[in-house]
Amino acid sequence: MDRLRRLLVAMVCLLALPVVVNAGVVDVNTADAETISTELTGVGLSKAAAIVEYRAAHGPFKSYEDLMQVKGIGPRTIEINRENIRFGSEDAKPRK
C-alpha cells in the first residue's frame, strides 16, 4: 500500500510539472488577457479578461492588493504567482 501511495504521489508530481514550468513573468499593466492566462498559474482566460477590464476602468495596478480587487483574484492566486507578476518596469519592485 505504501509503495502504491509513493507511486501515485510521484505521478501527480510529474503531471503537475508542466504547469509549473510553463508559468512565466508577466506585466499585468501591459499584457493582454491571453498572455496573462498563459503565464499565470490558475488564471484562466475569463479571470485574465477581468484583470484587463479592471485595469482599463481603474488604471494601472500598483500592488498585489490592487490586483486582488479583481473578482476571482485572491491571496492564493497571488501567492502562487508572486514571482511572476510585474507592475511595470523591471526596475520597479511591486509593493507587498
Residues contacting residue 19 through CB under 8 Å, at least 6 positions apart: 41
In terms of residue numbers, what domain contains 56? 23-86
pLDDT score recorded for residue 91: 40
In this prediction the pTM is 0.70
Can you give the CATH number for the domain in which 54 is found?
1.10.150.280
- The count of domains in the chain is 1
Q: Are 57 and 66 within 8 A, CB to CB?
A: no
Q: Are 77 and 43 within 8 A, CB to CB?
A: yes
pLDDT score recorded for residue 3: 85
Whether residue 6 lies inside any domain: the answer is no
Q: Report how far residue 50's alpha carbon sits from residue 67's, in angstroms, rounded to the nearest whole number.
A: 10
Whether residue 8 lies inside any domain: the answer is no
Give the pLDDT means over successive 10-residue stretches in the chain (96 positions). Answer: 79 59 84 97 97 98 97 96 88 43
